[in-house]
Amino acid sequence: MTKESLEQAVTRLKSGDKGAFDYIYDSTYKVVFFVVHSVVRQRETAEDVVQDVYITAFRNMDKFDGGNTLAWLTTIAKRLALNAYKRNKREKPTDFQTDGEKYGSTELPSAESMGLIAEAEKILSSEDFEIVVMCAIAGYRRREVAKLMDMPVSTVTHRYTTALKKLKRIVDGVDDE
Amino acid sequence: MMNKIERRLKREARTMLPDATLKERIRSECFGDRVFEEVAEPALVAETAGTTKTGRAPLSRNKRFAIVVALALIVCFVIGMSCYFALAKVPVAVSDTFVSININPSFGITADANDRVTSVTALNEDAAVVLYGMNLVGLSVSDAADRIVTESAELGYLDTTSTGSMSFLAVNENGKKETAVANKLNLSLTALMAKNNWQTTVNSENADYANNGGSSSSYRFKFDFGRNSLSVGYTLLTQRAGEKTGQSASYFSRFSAESMLKLISDYNEESMAKVESALEQSWQNNSQLQDSYDKLQQLREEHERFIADIEAVLEILDDSDGYLTEEERQKVRDLLSHPNLNLDGALDKLLEMIFSFAEDIEDAYDNIADLLEDILDKIEDSIYALGSDLKEEIDNWKKDFLEDVFDD
């Protein structure tokens, strides 16, 4: 699951090989989903946005210059997720404090009730959260993440372990209570 | 504990991630209903099945006759087309390319379909001296030709003044491929001359032949009906072989390019073996050269080992979850204890930082990376310096060999 092979798959898709779609989707959807989810904070909305992300990406494939595919998808994902978040807020004005579960919330409950991923979304910077998703959930190797995010492996390792330590402190805190 | 956190994240993620239907929705939106198109409507399937089983009326005699005639015509058409395509001018598959370089010495290069050198043949004794110790297999044809020409120039074979000239001929059964190789070679050799400020003229025999109105011949295949033709390279070789032996050019149409070139160049296997044996003997007797060569090999091995060590340590740090086993720690320790690093007193502190995955380790990693790169640069500089010296020594030895052997 490397940047190079993703780019090769994009090239194949551009040249009409629809079989490359599976590879691109399977390699990226976990990261794209959680990037979107970290903004909209609601599973159903996140799924709809993920669908829009891939449709937008594949329909504009010709405009893609063949650079970092995952970065391109996450950029589209962030933009569409933010639009969806704003739209939800505008269309369905609600009290997030009381109806947060339904529409997404800025004030999240504890790790115990909302889960560790929600805590990670809340306490980590978006870059650190992406690193955690790529390493721990999507199964990318740290060297691959370093390539994808254009940063040294040591930086990725440091930020990843620091992020996990932060999450560990939350888990320990919940366990202690 | 870190693994526990990762496992928990993964477990949670599994419950949140979209299932396969989302993927199919996207596929359907982007590429149409491809996945469903093979599933026919059940009612339609039943209807169609019923028609084929029970609705067929018996054929009349006339209809049967018409079908038989139609089938016979189809068979005739297929056979006719097969014969046409078998005998007509069909594209010739891209096979090995043979390139002959003539500086006097003369060389033959064989390359695969990707233009990678698979073998190099010395076509005369001088060429055997030039090629001795050179490993050109795996290089591109252009790179190999550049090296051969450079080495020939260094040994004084190539006249680098404006009166000097050299030629080459590319040969491939596929005319297009042959032209492509010849053009590429022409460009690279012309660039080589310009780079070294040599005035030597480079002659592409393929281009010369075509420019002088020559065209490909048509006697390669016995039953080709004049459609299949020889490439320019083969045409030239068969003509020259014919002139050399007095046989008709068509006689050589089944010969390989290399065998024709050997024939044209008066290649003598026995005298070539003698020269190669004399070269080997002379090399064995030159202990100074052998020492330098061994030293260079050692340095290269050290370089490769060092790179492998760095990669192994990077892998360890990459895959670690904040903890290292004693064996992994030892590998990190060994790498950072490399004498060229000169970490001395700082080593223990650095190791402690790495093993504890300290917060401020990032700066330390950057410093280590810089130091390791410096060491690699130093080793590479040493290899280059030693390699250049050795090259000069080998060239001098070859020159002495040429004087001793050929003057005798």
B31–A18 C-beta distance less than 8 A: yes
Q: Are residues A121 and A83 in the same domain?
A: no
Q: Are residues A5 and A86 in the same domain?
A: yes
Q: Which amino acid is at A128?
A: D
More confident position, B319 or B102: B102
B9–A120 C-beta distance less than 8 A: yes
Domain that holds residue A31: 1-106
Tell me what pLDDT residue B2 has.
Answer: 55
Mean pLDDT of chain B: 78
What is d(CA A90, CA B221) in angstroms, rounded to the nearest whole number?
79
Tally the domains of chain A. Answer: 2
Q: Are residues A66 and A92 in the same domain?
A: yes
Tokens of B124: 């005369």
Q: For chain A, list residues whose CB is within 8 angstroms of any CB belonging to chain B.
A: 18, 21-22, 25, 29-30, 33-34, 37, 43, 46-47, 50-51, 54-55, 58-59, 115-117, 120, 132, 136-137, 141-143, 152-155, 157-158, 161-162, 164-165, 167-168, 171
pLDDT average, residue stretch B83-98: 61
Q: Are residues A77 and A13 in the same domain?
A: yes
- Give yes or no for residue B63 having a pLDDT over 80: no
Q: How confident is the model at residue B37 (pLDDT cuts 50, 70, 90)?
A: very low
Residues B148-174: tens digit of each pLDDT = 999 999 999 999 999 999 999 999 988
- Give yes or no for residue B384 having a pLDDT over 80: yes
Tell me what pLDDT residue B263 has.
Answer: 87
Q: How confident is the model at residue B34 (pLDDT cuts 50, 70, 90)?
A: very low
Q: Are residues A141 and A120 in the same domain?
A: yes
In A, which residues are within 8 Å of B34 by CB distance? 18
Tell me what pLDDT residue B305 has.
Answer: 84
- Give yes or no for residue A16 having a pLDDT over 70: yes
Q: Which of B28-42, B120-134, B381-395 has the largest mean confidence?
A: B120-134
Burial environment of residue B360 by CB neighbours within 10 A (0 to 12, 13 to 18, 19 or more): exposed
Tell me what pLDDT residue B120 has.
Answer: 93
Tell me what pLDDT residue B407 has.
Answer: 62
Q: Are residues A70 and A112 in the same domain?
A: no
Tell me what pLDDT residue B55 has.
Answer: 42
More confident position, B408 or B290: B290
Which range among B104-118, B133-147, B323-337 shows the weakest confidence by mean pLDDT? B323-337
Would you give the end-to-end CA distance of chain A in angstroms?
Answer: 40
Tell me what pLDDT residue B252 has.
Answer: 79
Strand segments (E) across B142-264: 165-171, 201-204
Which range among B19-28, B271-280, B297-306, B312-321 shows the weakest confidence by mean pLDDT? B312-321
Tell me what pLDDT residue A175 has.
Answer: 54
pLDDT average, residue stretch B102-106: 91
In B, which residues are within 8 Å of A58 by CB distance? 26, 30
Q: A interface mutation test: which of B1, B5, B19, B323 has the most A CBs within 10 A? A: B5
Q: Are residues A46 and A126 in the same domain?
A: no
Q: Which amino acid is at B157?
A: Y
Tell me what pLDDT residue A109 has.
Answer: 41
| Per-residue CA distances from A127 to A25, A121, B6, B17 (Å) | 21, 10, 17, 20
Out of A72, A106, A140, pick the residue that ends a domain: A106
Tell me what pLDDT residue B361 has.
Answer: 64
Would you give the end-to-end CA distance of chain B in angstroms?
Answer: 80
Backbone angle region of B40, left / alpha / beta, with phi > 0 → left and psi within -120 to 50 → alpha: beta
Tell me what pLDDT residue B358 has.
Answer: 67
Q: Which of B9, B12, B18 sits opposite A47 (nearest CB)?
A: B18
Q: Which residues pair with B122 in a beta bridge?
A: B107
Domain spans of chain B, in order of start:
23-56, 57-87, 97-279, 287-407
Q: Which of B215-219, B324-328, B338-342 has the largest mean confidence?
A: B324-328
- Give yes or no for residue A112 having a pLDDT over 50: no
pLDDT average, residue stretch A98-109: 42
- Give yes or no for residue B1 having a pLDDT over 80: no
More confident position, B313 or A24: A24
DSSP 8-class letter at B408: -
Q: Are residues A101 and A134 in the same domain?
A: no
Percent of chain B with pLDDT over 90: 16
B314–A18 C-beta distance less than 8 A: no
Q: Which of B5, B27, B322 sits opposite A167 (nearest CB)?
A: B5
Chain A residue nearest residue B353, CA to CA: A158
What is d(CA B211, CA B101) in angstroms, rounded to the nearest whole number?
20
> Closest Cα to residue B101, out of B173, B151, B137?
B151
Q: Which of A116, A141, A165 sits opposite B318 (nearest CB)?
A: A141
Q: Are residues A16 and A29 in the same domain?
A: yes
Q: Which of A51, A59, A158 sits opposite B22 (nearest CB)?
A: A51
- Give yes or no for residue B51 having a pLDDT over 80: no
What is d(CA A130, CA A164) in angstroms, rounded to the nearest whole number?
13
For B399, phi and psi rounded to 5 degrees? -60, -45
More confident position, B39 or B231: B231
Q: Are residues A18 and A82 in the same domain?
A: yes
Tokens of A55: 């449709």
Q: Are residues A28 and A100 in the same domain?
A: yes
More confident position, B70 or B221: B70
Cβ within 8 Å of residue A21, ≥6 positions away: A13, A58, B27, B30, B31
- Give yes or no for residue B402 having a pLDDT over 90: no
- Give yes or no for residue B59 having a pLDDT over 70: no
Q: Which of A33, A58, A161 sits opposite B357 (nearest CB)?
A: A161
Tell me what pLDDT residue A114 has.
Answer: 62
Tokens of A4: 């190079």
Tell me what pLDDT residue B14 has.
Answer: 85
Q: Are residues A29 and A89 in the same domain?
A: yes
Tell me what pLDDT residue A101 has.
Answer: 44
pLDDT average, residue stretch B305-319: 76
Out of A106, A122, A149, pick the residue that ends a domain: A106
In B, which residues are within 8 Å of A116 by CB distance? 5, 8-9, 12
Please give, rounded to a whole number of angstroms, the shortest distance from the CA of A67 to a CA of chain B. 21
pLDDT average, residue stretch A99-125: 61
Q: Which of B1, B9, B22 sits opposite A50 (nearest CB)?
A: B22
Distance of CA B248 to the CA centre of its chain: 37
B30–A21 C-beta distance less than 8 A: yes
Cβ within 8 Å of residue B260, ≥6 positions away: B237, B238, B240, B241, B252
CATH code at position A163: 1.10.10.10
Residues A65-95: tens digit of each pLDDT = 777 888 889 889 988 988 888 887 766 544 4
Mean pLDDT of chain A: 78
In A, which residues are within 8 Å of B16 by CB distance? 33, 37, 43, 117
Q: How confident is the model at residue B365 (pLDDT cuts 50, 70, 90)?
A: low
Instruction: Quickly list DSSP for B237-275.
Output: HHHHHHHHHSS-GGGGGGS-HHHHHHHHTT--HHHHHHH
Please give, rounded to a whole number of angstroms, the shortest distance from the CA of B348 to a CA of chain A. 19
Q: How confident is the model at residue B322 (pLDDT cuts 50, 70, 90)?
A: low
- Give yes or no for residue B109 having a pLDDT over 90: yes
